[in-house]
Amino acid sequence: MAITFFAHNANIPCIAEFFHNESVQSVINTLGIDYPQGYYFSEPSAAPVFSV
């Protein structure tokens, strides 16, 4: 909770990474984290390839 408190007071978005199930998502919501990401939403995709 200290990290989310600091981030919100400094106007910094707080991101939770590497979570994979609904119970962890519930905790993330309770903590007030702004942006969750992880396998719960989707598996990682390949990086885009840029040509010059």
What tens digit of pLDDT does each residue of 4-50 get?
Answer: 899 999 999 999 988 888 898 888 889 999 998 888 888 877 877 88
**Is the residue at 48 inside a domain?**
no
Q: What's the pLDDT at 45?
A: 79
Count how many domains the chain has.
1
Q: What's the pLDDT at 39?
A: 86
**Is the residue at 25 inside a domain?**
yes
Q: Residue 6 sits in which domain range?
A: 2-36
Let me know: does 6 contact 31? Beta carbons within 8 Å.
Answer: no
CA distance 2 to 6: 6
**Is the residue at 26 inside a domain?**
yes
Let me know: does 15 contact 36? Beta carbons within 8 Å.
Answer: yes
